[in-house]
Structure 1
Amino acid sequence: MTLTNLVFKSMKKNIKHYYLYFFALIFSVTLCFSFVTIQYNPSVVKALAASGSATAAFESITYVLYFILIFFILYANQLFMKRRSKEIGLYQLIGMTKGLIFRLLLIENVVLFTLAVGIGMVLGFLTSRFFAMILMKLIKNDAIVSLSFSMTAFSKSLIIFALLLVVVMLQIFIMIRKASLLSLFNAAKKADERIKKFSIFHMVMGIIGIGLIAYGYYDSTRLFSVGGATTNNLLINMLLILGSTIIGSYLFFRYSVALIMNLIRKSKKGYLKITDVLGVTTIMHRMKGNASSLTLITVLTGLAVGIMTLSYISYYSSESDARQLSPFDYILLDNKGIEFFDQLVAEGIEYEKTTFQISAVNVKMADLFNLDEKNAGYININQEAVSSVVSLSDYKKINPNAQLEEGETIITSYANVLSELLPLESKKKIQVNTSEKNYSLFIKEVREDEFFLSVLASAGSPVLIVTDELFDEIQKVQKPEITSQIGINLVNEKDRERAETLFKTLRERKAIEYDYQKTYKEYYDENIALNGMTIFVTGFLGLAFLLTTGSILYFKQMGEAEDERESYTILRKIGFSNGEIMRGIYVKQLFNFGMPLVIGILHSYFAVKSGWWLFGSEMATPMIIIIAIYVAMYTVFGILSGMYYKKVVKEAL
């Protein structure tokens, strides 16, 4: 038999192991080549030409995708080499040299890899237009996207995939060279670590693992609190949280799961059902034996869900963030650019106008936020903040039900990042200062109404609403830089394009004095362009992480199913039905796929919760959507794994 015939017979025999690996490889190549091709699509290049950072982001994410692909291929190849160790040992027994075996595997991998890369690059090219259209949709660009082949993208990808094949063959060469004949026959039975009898030490380590995860979660909730972090120890706290959750995850899979399963098994007092034998006992030993890989999968899952959630929070909050920066469609300050109204009327554009008179006072930080030396953190408690002041009558234009008594104030326009770090409390007194007099005011209420251009609230300070009498008194002695704001909202959305042109023309002519007077639509378009690009690239990364973690779990389950084939044969011979055996297997599958997913989601939830407000104004909806996608995809891998087990059990007798 020639070497070529042996290669094809070997590939045919191992197709049951390779088919998902082959399709996963095709999918990975498709993702990578599609992403690289998008970078050179003329429509996308033109749309992102104004943003150099977008081009740099594309380039950076490409290398991350390549890294994920390399990691996935090397890890999967290691698993399959372990599954084929007995076959390689038999080749040696019949007299084949290690060099000849390597040549056999070399031809086999070159054929497999070439087919996968070829098919993947064709699919990547064909799907690149689809992904480019998604990108243009996300950034709300109406440009027509055509299918475009880039020789640069092709040659760059070909070089990367060729290097990857070389690395894979180097990995196989090292594994064959180092392996002894005896180790090859036992390699398939080896887990990540050697299993020892459960002891008191294991019990203590299991409790410590749960404790480390709990500590990481708790510390993440106070990471950005005033008393919980300073500019000096913020990085240290973040590293502590990261370290405790990763180490805690490893200890959880290595010891805690076994501890919990041991307690469940002991609670049954020796009366074990077939479900317990195939579920609880198997979970106890398999999980702690594969703790390293399960920890890696958990961390990757948490990382992917966290990154995708934060990017989606930013995209989801684009409109509300734009409204925080410009609460009205257009804003004029100090009556600069009032000819804008004449132009709107001349164009037949209907609008609504709201005018606010503005003054300012100084408020001591310690007084406003109830700070002292112990909990001030990075805040200077003796510092005074400049806060804008608006009269009650003006405020009633947006909140008609507002009421104030003499000596009272309402604090509003404080729904920003600073409000999460330094939350305000009502029902207390504060001192406000002017150049001539100090006033004691009682905070009646703290609200989140946004009606000021963001730059008017100095350093993010809140706006104080006071009685008309007090406002007039303050206005006489205080001379702020800006003394009035006119907010303009369009009545009909169809008029926005013309109104935008009029406003920008006035700004270019310097009829509007301040360059930072952007319109609401400009802020919104900037947010959409940036956040749309971000969620697009993180979506690609999320798909790559999902493919990697889900496939690795599936490959491991395939291996475990083959290892346990003899056990299923014995169980079938003593009278257990397929259904009874499968019920135990389903319990194990639920844990094998569900546990890394649940722990990973918990990691991402607490990580996102600690600072989600830095990225947007809504957390719940984006996170639920991302988690639902991940759960659905893991469920698909779980179902595929269950089907493979069912096939093995059916063939066991």
Structure 2
Amino acid sequence: MTALGAVYIMHVQGKQDLMKDSPFSLAYVEKGLHMHNVINPDELRRIVKEDGFSFENEAKVVSIGLEKYSITFDTDRSTQLGNGHIEENEYQVDAMIISASDYNKLAKEQGKPQIVVESGKLTLLYRNFNQKVFGSGKATGYINGEKIELPVSGSLDTNVMNNWIKSNILTLVMDDLSFINRISGIPEDKQRVFYGFELKNWEKAAPTVAKLNKIVSPEMERETDFGRPERYSEMSEVVSLTLFIGMFISLLFFIAAGSMIYFKLFTEIQEDQAQFKGLTRIGMTRKEIRRIVVSQIAIIFFIPCVVGISHALFAMFALDNLMNTSNWIYSFVVIGIYVGMQTIYFLLASNSYMKSMLRGSEA
């Protein structure tokens, strides 16, 4: 039960992490307000609909590209984000600056908290495993070829746009007025546009992703993040195999443990039949005797169950602390299945045992 619960929770948590890291099933960034060098959104919609999928949500966000960026923090000078200090190469990645209005709109749609950005400052969106939140600092880089330096007021451990994209490896939020002033001086063909599409039943969309990848040119592959369905499919294959093996072994142990209890009951049935006859002679009814017998069988069946649940809860608590999450709902799902199976086994065994007791006492 503990092992199966851990695998199941890790699968659920893995899916949640995929959705947090990539808020949209399909996402990409175009350089140019009206350009479609990566993929035409109409072509993407056509392929998706041909494969029988529908869209749950779509987003288009116009942003400012921050190239060769570098972010340092006042309270943690040892930490530096970005690659502005490295010479330009094929692995160079950029950050994107979006307006507070666009962030809050996406956050509301995704059920995330909205924010108020300080005037003239940036708020960093940075998801990390340790859930570390950075304090104030500064961001440097190039906007439309001009070197800039902007203050950073703080960070949030969240994101509203996919960050597995070369032009959006990191997202920064700017207040609306400052954003409008900045982007008004950038030509339309230099602006960045983020496209995001959330599919219904995206878990089954790996074949569709393969089709989309074929029509994206190799030099534009790093501007896309179509990988969530594929990553989920790969994860599910591994987890499904592990769950199958785990369930098979668990079922064997469950049957073996139940069988040992069952055979122990029937090994002692002759002694119990003699006691049953004696109790009948002194005036106890069959209903009263049945209640006593069923209570004794219940103790034998459910004490191991209580011990197993206690062990599983302790393990789930340790797993929650390790993964910095709360998965008690899924833990109780696994425990509920185990208790249900044990209860069915108990009812079958107690009914069979009582019938044998009654037949023996009447003989």
Shorter chain as denominator, the TM-score bin is 0.5 to 0.7
Deviation, structure 1 residue 652 = 4.5
Paired residues in the alignment total 313
- CA pair 557-599 structure 1, distance change in 2 beyond 3 A: same
What corresponds to 1:431 in structure 2? 136
Indicate conservation of the 8 Å contact 1:554/1:637, yes or no: no
Query: Equivalent of 1:505, from 211, 214, 217?
Result: 214
Change (3 A) 1:346 1:550: closer
What's the CA shift for 1:600? 0.7
Task: List per-residue Cα deviations over 1:272-301 (Å, max 9, x = no partner).
Answer: xxxxxxxxxxxxxxxxxxxxxxxxxxxxxx
Check 1:577–1:418 CA distance in 2 against 1; reply closer, same or farther (3 A cut): same
- Separation in 1, partners of 2:215, 2:107: 31
The separation in 1 between residues aligned to 2:223 and 2:101, in whole angstroms, is 29
1:342 to 32, 37, 40: 40
Q: 2:52 corresponds to which residue? A: none
The alpha-carbon deviation at position 634 of structure 1 amounts to 0.9
Q: Equivalent of 1:324, from 14, 17, 20? A: 20
Q: Secondary structure at the match of 1:486?
A: strand
Corresponding residue number in structure 1 for 2:222 = 514
Matched, 1:452 2:162: yes
Amino acid in structure 1 at the alignment position of 2:71: V
Query: 2:302: which partner in 1?
Result: 594
2:247 counterpart (507, 530, 539): 539
> 1:334 touches 1:485 (CA, 8 Å); kept in 2?
yes
The match for 1:528 is 236
Q: Provide the C-alpha distance between the structure 2 equivalents of 1:385 and 1:560, rounded to a whole number of angstroms.
A: 72
Q: Give the C-alpha shift of residue 308 in structure 1.
A: 1.7
Aligned residues of 1:431 and 1:438 also touching (Cα < 8 A): no
Determine whether 1:354 maps to 2:66: no
Q: 2:4 aligns with which of 308, 316, 333?
A: 308
Separation in 1 of the partners of 2:166 and 2:322? 20
Task: Judge conservation of contact 2:9–2:330 (CA < 8 Å) in 1.
Answer: yes
Counterpart residue number, 1:386: 81
Deviation at 1:448, TM superposition (A): 4.3
Indicate how the Cα distance of structure 1 residues 343 and 309 shifts in structure 2: closer, same or farther if over 3 A, else same.
Answer: same
Match of 1:441 among 153, 159, 184: 153
Amino acid at match of 1:529: E
Shift of 1:441: 2.8
Sort the Cα spacing of 1:516 and 1:528 in 2 relative to 1 into closer, same or farther, 3 A. farther
Q: Find the counterpart in structure 2 of residue 404 from structure 1.
A: 117
* Structure 1 segments unaligned to the other structure (5+ residues): 1-304, 368-380, 476-482
Q: Deviations over 1:450-473 (max 9, x none)?
A: 4232477999xx965443577799
Whole-angstrom CA distance in 2 between matches of 1:626 and 1:431: 44
The Cα of 1:333 is off from its aligned counterpart by 4.6
Unaligned runs of 5+ residues in structure 2 are 50-57, 83-94, 109-113, 141-147, 184-190
Q: Does 1:558 align with 2:239?
A: no
Asked if 2 retains the 8 angstrom alpha-carbon contact of 1:330 and 1:489, the reply is: yes
Q: RMSD of aligned C-alpha atoms?
A: 4.7
CA distance in 1, matches of 2:237, 2:327: 20
Q: Does structure 1 retain, via aligned residues, the 8 Å contact 2:59–2:197?
A: yes
**1:636 maps to amino acid:** I
Q: Distance in 2 between matches of 1:409 and 1:310?
A: 40
How far apart are the structure 1 equivalents of 2:347 and 2:304?
16
Is the contact made by 1:308 and 1:538 (CA closer than 8 Å) also made in structure 2? Answer: yes
TM-score scaled by structure 2?
0.65
Instruction: State the distance in 1 between where 2:312 and 2:248 align.
Output: 18
2:339 paired residue number: 631
Aligned pair in 2 of structure 1 residues 540, 458: CA closer, same or farther (>3 Å)? farther
> How does 1:62-211 map onto structure 2 within 5 Å?
none
Task: Point out the structure with max Rg over C-alpha.
Answer: 1
Q: How does 1:635-650 map to 2 (within 5 A)?
A: 635-647=343-355, 649-650=357-358
**Pair 491,430 (structure 1): closer, same or farther in 2 beyond 3 Å:** closer
CA distance in 2, matches of 1:527, 1:634: 30
Structure 1 residue 432 displacement after superposition:
1.7
CA distance in 1 between counterparts of 2:330 and 2:152 reads 43
CA apart distance, 1:580: 2.0
C-alpha deviations, 1:465-500, integer Å up to 9, x for none?
44357779999xxxxxxx967233178989x78963
Deviation at 1:578, TM superposition (A): 2.5
- Cα separation, 1, equivalents of 2:314 and 2:44: 54
Residue identity in the other structure for 1:432: G
Classify 1:518/1:544 alpha carbon distance in 2 versus 1 (closer, same or farther; 3 Å).
same
Matched AA of 2:299: F
1:584 — aligned with what?
292
Which has a greater percent of helix? 1
- Name the SS for the 2:291 alignment partner: helix
Structure 2 CA distance for partners of 1:510 and 1:440, relative to 1, 3 Å? closer
What one-letter code is carried by the residue in structure 2 that aligns with 1:341? Answer: I
Identity of aligned residues (%): 18
Return the alpha-carbon distance in structure 1 between the equivalents of residues 25 and 221 of structure 2: 18
Q: Is the 8 A contact 2:122 2:152 kept in 1?
A: no
| 1:549 counterpart SS class | helix
| Equivalent position of 2:89 in the other structure | none
User: Structure 1 residues 497, 577: CA separation in 2 closer, same or farther (over 3 Å shift)?
Assistant: closer
Q: In 2, are the aligned partners of 1:332 and 1:512 still within 8 Å (CA)? A: no
Corresponding letter in the other structure for 2:354 = K
SS at match of 1:579: helix
SS in 2 for 1:331: strand
Give the Cα separation in 2 of the matches to 1:636 and 1:499. Answer: 43
CA contact (8 A) 1:389 1:466 kept: no
Look up the SS of the partner of 1:528 in the other structure.
helix
Contact 1:328 / 1:488 at 8 angstroms: preserved in 2? yes
Q: Please identify which structure carries the higher strand content.
A: 2
Match of 1:136 in 2: none
What is the distance in 2 between the residues matched to 1:467 and 1:440? 12
Given the superposition, is the C-alpha separation of residues 454 and 553 from structure 1 closer, same or farther in structure 2, using an over 3 Å criterion? farther
Given the two structures, how large is their TM-score scaled by the length of structure 1? 0.39
Q: Which residue of 2 aligns with 1:216?
A: none
The whole-number CA distance in structure 1 between the counterparts of 2:352 and 2:196 is 64
Distance 1:437 1:317 in 2: 38
Tell me the distance in 1 between the aligned counterparts of 2:331 and 2:23: 26
